[in-house]
Structure 1
Amino acid sequence: MNLQATKMELIEMLISTKKATVLKKIKAILEEEQEYLTKEDYKIINARRERHLSGESKSYSWQEARQKIQNR
């Protein structure tokens, strides 16, 4: 399968469609497939979570965090 050729074919099909429902479905599919965080981001988040759960890092309640921000 030639990826570029497939993309071009899909673009042509999108341009020629007259059905809004088709476009909405395709948009929904593409939005679901989008990755907002990389694998490296997840590694960092998981490492920080583990440090938090093991008590190695300091955590704050919402009230404490808000107070720290307001005092800046």
Structure 2
Amino acid sequence: MDLQLTKMELIEMLLSTRKASVLNKIKAILEEEQEQLTESDYKIVDVRRANHLQGKSKSYSWDEVRKNISS
């Protein structure tokens, strides 16, 4: 099964539906399927935040981030 083709078919079906109940069900399913952060993930974020607040890590402005992405 071609994943991209399936996605496109679903998008077309979503665009053509007129039932809010269908959209609400699909939204609930997709929200359920999204990955949640684990306790380990939160610990990593906490350590990185603490390092940032203590000046132990480098931070970037949005302009610097955009430049890094485009280069």
Q: TM-score range by the shorter chain?
A: 0.5 to 0.7
**Structure 1 segments unaligned to the other structure (5+ residues):** 46-72
Shift of 1:7: 0.1
Matched, 1:41 2:41: yes
Unaligned runs of 5+ in 2: 45-71
Aligned match of 1:29: 29
Aligned residues: percent identity? 79
**Whole-angstrom CA distance in 2 between matches of 1:20 and 1:29:** 14
Distance in structure 1 (CA, Å) of the matches to 2:4 and 2:37: 25
Distance 1:3 1:37 in 2: 25
TM-score when scaled to structure 2?
Answer: 0.53
How many residues align? The count is 44
Q: CA deviation at 1:37?
A: 1.3
Distance in 1, Cα, partners of 2:9 & 2:24: 18
Q: How does 1:55-66 map to 2 (within 5 A)?
A: none
Q: Distance in 2 between matches of 1:4 and 1:37?
A: 26
Alpha-carbon offset, residue 29 of structure 1 = 0.1
Larger Rg, first or second structure (1 or 2): 1
User: Considering only aligned residues, what root-mean-square deviation do their CA atoms show, in Å?
Assistant: 2.4
